[in-house]
Amino acid sequence: MTHLSVNINKVATLRNARGENTPNVQQVAKDCEEFGAEGITVHPRPDERHIRHDDVFKLRPLVRTEFNIEGNPIPDFVNLVLKVRPEQVTLVPDAPDALTSNAGWNIEANMEFLTNIVEKFKDAGIRTSIFVDPNPEQIKLAAKTGTDRVELYTKSYADHYHEDREKAVAPFVEASITAHKCGLGVNAGHDLNLDNLTFFKQKVPYLNEVSIGHALISDALYLGLRETIRRYKECLK
């Protein structure tokens, strides 16, 4: 079974636009779980332009499924994660001013750094996942860091899905098989949506989890949150 983790960053973006507490980020997280999501993802950035550190602390006792915190493991992020102790941490090489995640790690260039970070989180009992492009060689190197999983960066799949979906998904099939052979779990995320998710799930083996935020929250404006989550879960059957 492939789990759905809902990234609620965009809910926080909307709330922050007015500086008050509507919509309520904590309530939305609880609703997502009630409606069937198997996880909640947040990506706190240094400028706190959407999810704030305070949100992360408030969410920790509320999330009953899997709490996944993703971000660039700079010292402030590492300290936050170690204090909050989520079920999973996803390491993403975001620049501080990045609008959104736009590439996987160069594992070879960051091997020592990532190995030390992974060890620190695993010592704290936190499952680790490293954000990677669908490159078998990078995945083999990721396994050497001691990480538990990789998260496949799926933008290239989404970008080329309507041109040639078989060609678009092929690198992810190979990447997932490679990860499985290396003993790694497989997550995926970025620009997955109701249009392209079913095919991705059908083709990519060993898929443990997808993390979806922007598209899902956008769909919820039209469909409602309960119906949106139902449809995404249907894609993952």
Q: Please report which confidence band the pLDDT of residue 98 belongs to, taking 50, 70 and 90 as the band edges.
A: low
Task: Identify the active-site residue in 43, 50, 66, 209.
Answer: 43
DSSP per residue, 38-91: SEEEE---TT-SSS-HHHHHHHTTT--S-EEEEE---HHHHHHHHHH--SEEEE
Whole-angstrom Cα distance, residue 54 to residue 188? Answer: 27
Annotated catalytic residue 190? yes
Annotated catalytic residue 43? yes
Whole-number CA gyration radius for the chain: 17
Q: What percent of the chain clears pLDDT 90, i.e. is strictly above it?
A: 95
Does residue 66 surpass a pLDDT of 80?
yes
* pLDDT value, residue 99: 55
Whole-angstrom Cα distance, residue 62 to residue 195? Answer: 31
Whole-angstrom Cα distance, residue 114 to residue 217? Answer: 31
Task: Identify the active-site residue in 33, 50, 66, 190.
Answer: 190
Does residue 48 surpass a pLDDT of 90?
yes
Q: Please report which confidence band the pLDDT of residue 94 belongs to, taking 50, 70 and 90 as the band edges.
A: confident
Averaged pLDDT, 10-15: 97
Does residue 220 surpass a pLDDT of 90?
yes
Does residue 96 surpass a pLDDT of 90?
no
Q: Please report which confidence band the pLDDT of residue 213 belongs to, taking 50, 70 and 90 as the band edges.
A: very high
Give the orientation angle of helix 9-16 with respect to helix 25-34, to 10 degrees. Answer: 150
Task: Identify the active-site residue in 33, 70, 151, 209.
Answer: 70
Virtual CA dihedral for 159, 165, 169, 170, nearest 10 degrees?
Answer: -130
